[in-house]
Amino acid sequence: MKKVILFLFLSLFLSCNSGKRKPLGESDFQREMNSKFKDASTSPLTKSGLRKFKGLAFFPINEKFKVSAKLTKTPNGKVFNFPTTTSETVKYKKYGIIQFSIDGKDFELDIYKDPNPRIDYKNHLFLPFLDETNGKGSYGGGRFIDVLTTDIKEDGTITIDFNKAYNPYCAYNKLYSCPITPRNNSLAIAIEAGVMDYKK
């Protein structure tokens, strides 16, 4: 009997502990985001926000917002200064144009690259976008998606997963300086996917 009680106790203990360790989320992306935001060493949240943090809000995962896009590179794209939410500017080069369809409608967005990236960011592309959920469920200033040059297929297509769209850090903390999404990267559709607006 004592062995049975001990076994049940250990099972309950391990179950509770594993529950605490496992971050919330329906996908690896969501779990990684919640884990990052919960960790004081990596979280953009203020001290007050970190204390109250229970998990980020996400739109339901929707496979229709995971699209195969045609990438047309712009090798002669100029380097220009991106305005930010502060007085600072950041330099980006237009890397190319992506074209894709959702619900039978065609869209295109400009995609960018840091002209002088850190070595660990040499393959990173920057995709900022606006859509019809801004201020109505998602952050008003638009959202970002990270893409890698190594994700580009031989046929010139690349998968864009809007379920992995995230907010700039300034949506959580005004001390951050964030690139302002260009108006030409506006989508005339509600992208109900990815991270939702942050309620402070």
Q: Does residue 117 share a domain with residue 49? A: no
Q: Which two tokens mark 62?
A: 């929707």
* Tokens 């065609």 sit on residue: 106
In a domain, residue 12? The reply is no
Give the per-residue pLDDT at 135. Answer: 95
Decide if 160 contacts 98 (C-beta within 8 A): yes
Q: Does residue 47 share a domain with residue 81? A: no
CA pair distance 121, 109, nearest whole angstrom: 21
Give the per-residue pLDDT at 116. Answer: 92
CA angle 56, 57, 62 (to 5 degrees): 125
Question: What's the sign of the alpha-carbon dihedral 128, 188, 161, 55?
Answer: positive
Decide if 24 contacts 31 (C-beta within 8 A): yes
The residue out of 32, 54, 76 marking a domain boundary is 54
> Please, where are the H alpha helices in the chain?
2-21, 28-38, 47-52
Q: Does residue 34 share a domain with residue 81? A: no
Q: Does residue 132 share a domain with residue 73? A: yes
Instruction: Reply yes or no on whether the pLDDT at 197 is more than 60.
Output: yes
Q: Domain span at residue 28?
A: 23-54
Decide if 84 contacts 74 (C-beta within 8 A): no
Q: Which two tokens mark 114?
A: 């840091």
The string of pLDDT tens digits covering residues 72-113 is 999 998 898 999 999 999 999 999 999 999 999 999 999 999
Decide if 158 contacts 66 (C-beta within 8 A): no
Q: Which two tokens mark 94?
A: 């237009």
Q: Does residue 198 share a domain with residue 152? A: yes
Maximum distance among all alpha carbons in the chain?
77
CA pair distance 134, 142, nearest whole angstrom: 6
How many distinct structural domains can be found in the chain? 2
Q: Does residue 163 share a domain with residue 137? A: yes
In a domain, residue 14? The reply is no
In a domain, residue 113? The reply is yes
For the whole model, what pTM was predicted? Answer: 0.86
In this prediction, residue 199 has a pLDDT band, given cuts at 50, 70 and 90, of: confident
How many percent of the chain have pLDDT more than 90?
Answer: 84
Decide if 109 contacts 87 (C-beta within 8 A): no
Q: Does residue 50 share a domain with residue 126? A: no
Q: Does residue 96 share a domain with residue 48? A: no
